[in-house]
A and B are shown apart, each in its own frame.
Chain A
Amino acid sequence: DGGITQSPKYLFRKEGQNVTLSCEQNLNHDAMYWYRQDPGQGLRLIYYSQIVNDFQKGDIAEGYSVSREKKESFPLTVTSAQKNPTAFYLCASSRSKGESYGYTFGSGTRLTVV
């Protein structure tokens, strides 16, 4: 079955460390997204990518970085510059712009800073 795979499911990070969250899709979708989900705040867009080797900042990009070297993969790095990284991170993909099709989501990665 096609879908989005996020790994790991749970991740613990020490303060000052960078960590990378994996997101892989086999849906042949052009666009991929990273959202952060916090209780009571819904989903906030971190970065998105329309095509390979191109990505754009979302609303809360500070302290995060991404790459899109392959169509299937869109890893997110949470850097030590991110002040409050503990959150649930969701990766999504869509055909084209997603405006008519909606998104397919992964199962998420819960990051905790210890």
Chain B
Amino acid sequence: SQQGEEDPQALSIQEGENATMNCSYKTSINNLQWYRQNSGRGLVHLILIRSNEREKHSGRLRVTLDTSKKSSSLLITASRAADTASYFCATALSGSARQLTFGSGTQLTVLP
């Protein structure tokens, strides 16, 4: 089974609204990372949050991490049509952090 799984699989909102995506994982992590992928392009790194951190901000992005629940959330505030993309969480495991394990992603559509 997958280490990281995003929820929901798809999300459609109006421009200006907030978008929240969740990620759950199964084993202890060193860090958790969020990436964005626009159609036909590669992944772009958004935020890295370490296991000893609870919240990080970057512009309109806010990421939280709850290691007791093995979950993370990505909040995009005041969404724009340009935020339309797939969003992936990726976990780097504790002790053997050589690879990132990606989830299947959340497809976010922001309607103008």
Q: Are both chains from one complex?
A: no
Which residues of B come within 8 Å of A, CB atoms?
A: none
Chain A residues with a Cβ under 8 A of chain B: none
